[in-house]
Chain A
Amino acid sequence: MAVTEHQPGDLLQQDRPRPVSASNRLSRMQRLRRDKALLLFALPGVVALLLFHYLPLLGNVIAFQDYQPFLGISGSDWVGFQNFSVIFNGDPEFLHALENTLILTILQVVFVFPAPIALALLLNSLAHEWIKRVVQSILYLPHFLSWVIVVALFQQVLGNAGLMNDTLRAHGMHTFSIIGNPHLFKVLITSQVVWKDTGWGTILFLAALSRIDAALYEASDVDGASRIRQLWHVTLPGLRSLIVLLGILRLGDVLTVGFEQIVLQQGPVGTDVSEVLDTYVYNNGILGGNWGVSAAVGLVKGVVGVALVLGANKLAHIFGEQGVYQS
């Protein structure tokens, strides 16, 4: 299968042995002395990762503490799994955040995930190279904007005093309350993600489409296959590995839905419709001072994410796909 050779997952399999001058015949000390310079190069980056990634990882122990900022980690009391009772006993606020998160995830899987595939197929079916390139340049752009800018742009266009409602009002027509409307909040969030990342999402799919063997299309043409049948029997199978790969990665983020995007827009709609797990951790922990409980929720969320990625990857292997990595 042509596509599988070119997946991002390949990156990690690049460790093909290189003709290093008989490294295994040297002793450890000799190799250390030989590679001293290389280790020094790696040092600053590794220190940064240890300080800002692994040290916080250890900091997760406060999930098992009644953490008090003035006592610090060493001075705070250990409380075992008490902080996790919010999760296991189903604290209403937590359940609410979980529910909102899952609804948003489902909306995103249904509308955000297929959008780049559809757009890529559409772009690919156009013969004109330059139209393709112009459209791509325009549609990739939103990906590089920050969420603050995207949210501000949406307000300017769809807000109550924004461009759309101004125009409707000027023509004496009915206006729509979209921004700040709790009923439409989840739809708004989803459409913002579509606006921002659909264009960018096509990159990988367009690359995969260009690797599908043209002979397959010619052969199916000769056999009299319609466009729809070609799509089903040639194009989609060519995209399958990539879709599986991205699906697995998305699965790891099932409990993660745009923290920045939601924090920016929570104010006017209230937490009832907008609280998700990440904002729950932020609002309860950093703003509310419930350090232990928030850390516990964050920890469980992280562990569930990893478990889902590993599980889905295993499943992909069982079905004969390459997945994210090979064991």
Chain B
Amino acid sequence: MSATAARRAVTAPPGIGKFSAVSAKVVVLVICCAVVILPFLSVVSTSIADQKQITNAGGYVLWPTHPSLNAYRAILNGGVVTRALMVSIGITVVGTLLSLTATTALAYGLSRSGSFAHKPILMVVLFTLLFGPGIIPNYLVIKELGLLNSYWSLILPTLINAFNVIVIRAFIMNIPQDLIDSAKIDGATEMQVLRRIVLPLSKAVLSVIGLFFAVGYWNNFFNALLYMNDTSKWPLQLVLRTYVVNNAPLGSDQLQVGAEALPPPQSLQMAILVISLVPILLVYPFLQRHFAKGVLLGAVKG
């Protein structure tokens, strides 16, 4: 078969050669997309498949014949996963709001060249991009501040990200100074300028940075691994590691479900995975729209 294909390639007229180059490219791209999509398909299918089909398939299912939501009912019934989900949602909402507020305020505070101490403060921010303190000193500081096993240890260390400050600052600095000056002549305070002029004009960049913060808090595993020993305060990512990656048994002790009503373990694991994926998939189209408009790149490029 490959010999025929080779002969055809040799004798093919140039027009067909060009056509096959395009189709080769399309094939490569289709394979790339399949490699990304297939795992998701398998995970979702297995999470809603029944025991019989999972046993027949040997473990994983690509297309469920008798879909059921039992696995989701089991893990959302209270118990380990439900609690972790609540923790993750709380951390993400509070963290994103605080990060966005503090970052925007810092960016606005640094947005006027020639303002008092503007250069040294900017250096303080920029230097953090160059040199990270390292795992051990970070841990010791969290410990000394008494934040071990506190939800704040999942928010405060990542509250400010210098890169985001720079992006928002660049955006604010592109707002015409005349607008701000004329508001000030009319007697507006800095707070009023920020709320009435700067924030409405920066909505696009703020929503992108906010989504990035949210994704970051939702996905945060590192800080939780370091600072959270108390399993009852674990966010979803640690639960995911324990019960899915490390395969710890997930039974009626962890879930508040009777043993007889327990869905197949593979479905339970995959349902946890799906639940941790859903928020990302929900915000993704919004992120996507901003890439399309080039808002983010426009901001990054200055």
Contacts and interface: CB of A to CB of B under 8 A. Distances in A.
Contacts of A72: 144
A7 to B, nearest CB: 7
Interface residues of A, number: 108
Contacts of B222: 259-260
Contacts of A302: 131-134
Contact of B133 (A6, A57, A259): A57
Given A146-B219, A161-B59, A260-B222, A41 B109 contact: yes
Interface stretch (B38-46, B63-71, B75-83): B38-46
Interface in A31-63: 31-32, 34-35, 37-46, 48-60, 62
Interface in A278-327: 278, 281-282, 285-286, 291, 294-295, 298-299, 301-302, 305-306, 309
Nearest to A279: B135
B134 A281 contact: yes
A229 interface: no
Given A169-B58, A203-B291, A60 B137 contact: yes
A2 interface: no
B72 interface: no
Interface string B104-122: 0110111011111110010
Q: Which of A48, A72, A265 has the largest number of chain B CB atoms within 10 A? A: A48
A40 B117 CA distance: 12
B16 interface: no
B273 A38 contact: no
B302 A10 contact: yes
Interface string B249-279: 0000000000000000000001001001100
A37 B116 contact: no
Contacts of A48: 102, 156, 159-160
Interface residues of B, number: 99
Contacts of A49: 124-125, 128, 160, 162
B199 interface: no
B94 interface: no
Q: Which of B62, B170, B173, B221 has the largest number of chain A CB atoms within 10 A? A: B221
B154 interface: no
Interface string B134-165: 11111111011100000000001101101001
Nearest to B43: A156
Contacts of B270: 156
A159 to B, nearest CB: 9
Contacts of A16: 113
B183 interface: no
B113 A42 contact: no
Interface in A4-34: 6-8, 10-21, 23-24, 28, 31-32, 34
Q: Which of A21, A35, A126, A148 has the largest number of chain B CB atoms within 10 A? A: A148
A144 B245 contact: no
Interface string B280-291: 100010011001
Contact of A56 (B26, B102, B112, B141): B141
A195 interface: yes
A142 interface: yes
A140 interface: yes
B261 to A, nearest CB: 24
Contacts of A37: 189-191
A34 B218 CA distance: 40
A79 to B, nearest CB: 16
Given A10-B302, A166-B57, A148 B245 contact: yes
B25 A203 contact: no
B130 interface: yes
Contacts of B105: 41-42, 44-45
A122 B43 CA distance: 29
Interface of A: 6-8, 10-21, 23-24, 28, 31-32, 34-35, 37-46, 48-60, 62, 69, 72-73, 119, 122-123, 125-126, 131, 133, 135-142, 144-149, 151-157, 161-163, 166, 169-170, 195, 199, 203, 207, 259-260, 263-265, 267, 278, 281-282, 285-286, 291, 294-295, 298-299, 301-302, 305-306, 309
7 contacts: A35-B117, A42-B110, A135-B29, A163-B42, A195-B35, A282-B135, A295-B137
Given A41-B108, A44-B102, 19 more contacts: A8-B302, A18-B113, A38-B108, A45-B106, A45-B125, A51-B141, A52-B141, A53-B132, A60-B133, A119-B32, A138-B37, A141-B36, A146-B237, A148-B244, A149-B277, A152-B240, A155-B244, A162-B59, A166-B58
